[in-house]
Amino acid sequence: MRQLSLLLVIILGFTETRCQTDKYTTYFELNTLRIDLVLAGDHDSQTIYLSSFQKEPFWGGTKTVSNQLSDFGIYRFSYLTDDNQLIYSSNFCSIFDEWQTTKEASVQKRAFTHTITMPYPKQKGMLQIETRNKKGEFENTLNIPFDPTDTSIKQKSFPNTEVISIVNNGSSAECYDLVFLAEGYTITEMDKFKADIKRMCTYVFAHTPYTQLESKINIYGILSPSAQSGVNDPTKKEWVNTLFSASFNTFNSDRYLQIENTSTLRDYAALVPYDHIIVLVNSKKYGGGSIYNNFTICTTDHALSEQVFIHELGHGIAGLADEYYTSEVAFTNYYHLELEPWEPNITTLVRFDEKWKSQISKDTPQPTPNSAKYKNTIGLFEGAGYTAKGIYRPSLDCKMKTNRAPEFCPICLQAITKAIDSATSH
C-alpha cells in the first residue's frame, strides 16, 4: 500500500509538471519580453512611462503559470490576456522609489530607467503595473496594451563576448540561474573576474541556506570587459570609463554603489537565461547595493567583500530589509510606523500575525531584550530598518544586520529558501 501511494505521488507529481509545461507553452514562447520603463517624479508624485519592448533570446525564470498575486515589493506587474486571464505576475523595487525617500526628492523632480522582464506572451493582452499607495496597498498605475506580433518590438543583436557556465545543475526552469557580470575589469583582467566569481560563490555556498540550495542553482559568468579598470568614485573625484558606469556615492552615501542606467547591463545579461543579475566591481573600496528583483552589485577586493555580497544578495533575491539601525543612510523616514512593511524580516507590529509571531516561544519576552541571553532565540528585538524605535527584527544578530554575524537569522533563512524554491518550481 505504501509503495502504491508512493507511485501515485510520483505519477501525480509528473502529471502536475507536464501539465504546467503544457500550460506554459500554451501561453508563452521560450523567450523573454523585456520592458524598459522610465519612472519619473518627486517625493509625492510618480509617473511611469513605457520606453520600449524588446524580445530576448532566453527565458530563465520558472515555467509555472500562476494566477496568484504576491504582496512583495513596491511595484507589481501582471499580464492579462485579452479574455482577462491573469497568466503572469511579478513584484519588484526600483532605484526611483529609493530616491523618493531622499532629501533631493523633496526639492526636485528626477527620472530613472527601470527594466522588467517576463516570458514572451503568445497572446495579445494588457500589461498592468501597480504601485503601493500611501496606505501601502497596490494601486493600478499604468496599463500598457501588448501585441506579440507588433513589428516595432526590438530584437537587436546582442554583445559578442564570451559566456562561461561555471555551475550547471539542470535546466533553467528547474534551477535558479545567477549570472555574474564584470564591471571595471579590463580584457586582461578576466582571469581575475573568474577567480572573483569562484571566491564569492565559495563563501555564499558555505552558509545556510545556500549550502542546502546549492544543487538548485546554476552559475554563469559573462566576460564583459571595460575600457578602464576600477569604478567611479565621486568623493575622490575618480572617474573611469567602465562598461556599466557603476558609481559609489549614490544619493550622497559614499559606500552605496549603484548603476543608474541598466540598459547595457540588461543587454549583456540577456546572453544567458537568468533569474538574478550580479555585478562584481573590480575595486578595493567597501561598498555595494541591491534592489529586489532587479540586480545585486558589490566590490570584490575589500576585506569584507564576501560578507557584503551575501548581505546584498538577501535584498536582491528575497526582498529582505536591512535589520540595522545605527549606520547613517541616505533615506529619511524610509518606513512609516503606521504601516506594516512588506519585507518578511521586519515588523512595525501593525500586522505582526502575518510575520514570524507564531514562531516565538511562550517563554520569550516581547519585546525581547537586546542581550546575549537571547542570542539564539527567535524574538521581537527593537531596532531595524534604519530606525531604533518602533521597528522590530527577529534575532539579536543576522547577516542582514551586521557583517560580523556568522549566519542569517531563521526568518531570513526561510525567506531566501522560499524565494529560490518558488523560482525553481516547474
Asked if 368 interacts with Zn ion (CB under 5 A), we say no
Asked if 345 interacts with Zn ion (CB under 5 A), we say yes
Instruction: Candidates 39, 95, 257, 412: give the one binding Zn ion (CB under 5 A).
Output: 412
Instruction: Candidates 87, 222, 396, 398: give the one binding Zn ion (CB under 5 A).
Output: 398
Asked if 400 interacts with Zn ion (CB under 5 A), we say yes
Instruction: Candidates 127, 409, 419, 420: give the one binding Zn ion (CB under 5 A).
Output: 409
Pick the closer one to Zn ion by CB: 272 or 310: 310
Cα-based torsion angle of the residue sequence 182, 99, 315, 144 in order, rounded to the nearest 10 degrees:
-90
CA-based end-to-end distance of the chain: 28
Pick the closer one to Zn ion by CB: 275 or 397: 397
Least Å distance, CB 244 to Zn ion, is 29
Residue 412 makes CB contacts below 8 A (sequence gap 6+) with 314, 318, 320, 344, 345, 394, 398, 399, 400
Stretch that binds Zn ion, among 12-20, 230-238, 335-343, 390-398 (CB under 5 A): 390-398
3-class SS string, 141-189: EEEEEECCCCCCCECCCCCCCCEEEEECCCCCCCCEEEEEEEECCCHHH
Alpha helices (H) along 216-272? 263-269
Stretch that binds Zn ion, among 155-163, 190-198, 231-239, 341-349 (CB under 5 A): 341-349
Least Å distance, CB 339 to Zn ion, is 20
Pick the closer one to Zn ion by CB: 298 or 400: 400
Pick the closer one to Zn ion by CB: 125 or 410: 410
Neighbours of 207 (CB within 10 A): 16
Stretch that binds Zn ion, among 32-40, 109-117, 279-287, 344-352 (CB under 5 A): 344-352
Residue of 293, 331, 284, 287 whose CA lies nearest to 307: 287
Q: Give me the sheet containing 86-92, strands edge to edge.
A: 86-92, 75-81, 125-132, 138-146
Asked if 313 interacts with Zn ion (CB under 5 A), we say no
Stretch that binds Zn ion, among 122-130, 181-189, 235-243, 411-419 (CB under 5 A): 411-419
What number of chain residues touch Zn ion (CB under 5 A)?
A: 5
Pick the closer one to Zn ion by CB: 196 or 343: 343
Cis-peptide into 341, omega within 30 deg: no
Residues 226 and 395: their CA atoms lie apart, in Å, by 41
Least Å distance, CB 346 to Zn ion, is 9
Pick the closer one to Zn ion by CB: 250 or 347: 347
Judge contact between 340 and 354, C-beta under 8 A. yes
Asked if 318 interacts with Zn ion (CB under 5 A), we say no
Pick the closer one to Zn ion by CB: 280 or 415: 415
Packing angle of the helix pair 305-318, 410-424 (nearest 10 deg): 60
Name the residues that contact Zn ion, by CB under 5 A.
Answer: 345, 398, 400, 409, 412
